A and B are shown apart, each in its own frame.
Chain A
Amino acid sequence: MFRTIKSTAMVLGLSLTSLIATPAIAGEFPTKPVAMIVAYSPGGGTDTAARVIANYIKPHLGQRLIIQNKPGAGGQIGFTALSNAKNDGYKIGFINIPSIFLVKMLRDNVPFEMSDFEMIGNIQLDPVLLTVPVDSPFKTFKDFVAAAKSNSGNITIGGDGPQSNNQLQLVVAEDILGIDVNFVPFNGSGPAITATMGKQIDASVPSASSATGHIKDGRLRALAVFSDKRYPYLPDVPTIAEASGMTIPGIGASMRGIAVPKGVSAEKRATLEAAFRNVVNDSKFVAHIERLGLPLAYMSADEFSAYLKDAESGIAKYIDLLK
Chain B
Amino acid sequence: MLDSLLLGIDVLLNPTALLAILAGVVGGVVIGSLPGLTSTMGVALLIPLTFSMPTEAGLAMLGGVYLASTYSGSISAIILNIPGTPAAVATLLDGYPMSQRGESTRALALATFGSSIGGIFSVVALFFIAPPLAEFSLRFGSPEYFLLAVFGITVIASLSAGSMEKGLMAGAFGLLLSTIGAHPITGELRYTLGSPTLYDGIPMVVSLIGLYSIPEVISMISGKSGTVIENETVRKRSAFSYLPEVLSQRLNIIRSSIIGVIVGIIPGVGCSVGGFISYDAAKKASKTPEEFGKGSAEGVIASETANNAVTGGTLIPLLTLGIPGNPVTAVLLGGLMIHGLRPGAELFTINADITYGFIMSLFVANILFVPVGLIFARYCAKVIMVPRQILAPCIMALAVIGSYSIRGSLEDVLIMLFIGMIGFILQIFAVPRAPLVLGLVLGTLAEGELARSLALVHGDVPAFLYQLVSRPICIVLLLLCAYALFQGIKQHRQNSKLLDS
Interfacial residues, chain A to chain B (CB-CB below 8 A): 1-4, 7-8, 41-45, 47-48, 51-52, 54-55, 68-74, 76-77, 80, 106-107, 109, 153-154, 156, 161-163, 182, 184-187, 190-191, 193-195, 197-198, 200-201, 213-214, 216-217, 219, 288, 291-293
Within 8 A of A (CB), among B216-269: 267-268
| Nearest CB of chain A from residue B403's CB, rounded to whole Å | 14
Partner of B52, one of A4, A153, A293: A4
Contact, CB under 8 Å: B196 / A77? yes
Contact, CB under 8 Å: B199 / A201? no
Known: A3-B53, A219-B344. 8 other contacts (CB 8 A): A48-B47, A71-B407, A77-B409, A182-B458, A190-B323, A193-B323, A291-B337, A292-B337
CA distance A1 to B47 in the complex (A): 14
CA distance A291 to B43 in the complex (A): 20
| Nearest CB of chain A from residue B409's CB, rounded to whole Å | 7
Please name the 10 residue pairs, one residue from A and one from B, whose CB atoms are nearest each other, closest first: A43-B331, A43-B44, A42-B44, A291-B340, A198-B138, A73-B199, A200-B141, A162-B187, A73-B196, A1-B19
* Closest residue on chain B to residue A163 by CB atoms: B187
Determine whether B5 belongs to the interface, using a CB cutoff of 8 Å to chain A: no
Interfacial residues, chain B to chain A (CB-CB below 8 A): 16, 19-20, 23, 40-41, 43-45, 47-49, 51-53, 57, 137-142, 182-187, 189, 194, 196-197, 199-200, 267-268, 321-324, 327, 330-331, 334, 337-340, 342-346, 407-409, 448, 452, 455-456, 458
Contact, CB under 8 Å: B337 / A1? no
Given contacts A4-B52, A42-B45, contact A217 B346 (CB under 8 A): yes
Contact, CB under 8 Å: B19 / A197? no
Given contacts A184-B455, A217-B344, A291-B337, contact A70 B407 (CB under 8 A): yes
Partner of A51, one of B48, B408, B455: B48
| Nearest CB of chain A from residue B321's CB, rounded to whole Å | 7
Contact, CB under 8 Å: A190 / B324? yes
Contact, CB under 8 Å: B199 / A74? yes
Contact, CB under 8 Å: A191 / B53? no
| Nearest CB of chain A from residue B54's CB, rounded to whole Å | 8
Q: Which residues of B contact A47 (CB under 8 A)?
A: 44
Given contacts A43-B43, A184-B452, contact A7 B52 (CB under 8 A): yes
Task: List 13 interface pairs A-B (beta carbons < 8 Å), by A numbering.
Answer: A4-B23, A42-B41, A43-B334, A80-B196, A106-B187, A156-B456, A162-B182, A185-B184, A186-B452, A195-B141, A198-B141, A291-B338, A291-B339
Contact, CB under 8 Å: B407 / A73? no
CA distance A292 to B407 in the complex (A): 26
* Closest residue on chain B to residue A193 by CB atoms: B323
CA distance A32 to B470 in the complex (A): 64
Number of A-B residue pairs having CB atoms within 8 Å of each other in the complex: 153
Given contacts A43-B47, A69-B408, A186-B452, contact A197 B321 (CB under 8 A): yes
CA distance A77 to B192 in the complex (A): 14
| Nearest CB of chain B from residue A70's CB, rounded to whole Å | 6
CA distance A156 to B183 in the complex (A): 20
* Closest residue on chain A to residue B328 by CB atoms: A43
Partner of A4, one of B49, B138, B186, B187: B49
CA distance A4 to B324 in the complex (A): 27
Q: Which residues of A contact B344 (CB under 8 A)?
A: 213-214, 216-217, 219
Q: Which residues of B contact A195 (CB under 8 A)?
A: 141-142
| Nearest CB of chain A from residue B363's CB, rounded to whole Å | 19
Q: Which residues of B contact A185 (CB under 8 A)?
A: 184-185, 187, 452, 455
Contact, CB under 8 Å: A1 / B23? yes
Contact, CB under 8 Å: A293 / B337? yes
CA distance A181 to B139 in the complex (A): 23
Q: Which residues of A contact B140 (CB under 8 A)?
A: 198
Partner of A293, one of B20, B48, B183, B342: B342
- Most-contacted residue by chain A among B138, B140, B141, B183 (CB, 10 A): B138
Q: Which residues of A contact B331 (CB under 8 A)?
A: 42-44
Partner of A48, one of B187, B200, B338: B338
Given contacts A70-B407, A72-B407, A291-B340, contact A194 B184 (CB under 8 A): no
Contact, CB under 8 Å: A191 / B268? yes
| Nearest CB of chain A from residue B268's CB, rounded to whole Å | 7
* Closest residue on chain B to residue A77 by CB atoms: B196
- Most-contacted residue by chain B among A43, A54, A154 (CB, 10 A): A43
Contact, CB under 8 Å: B267 / A191? yes
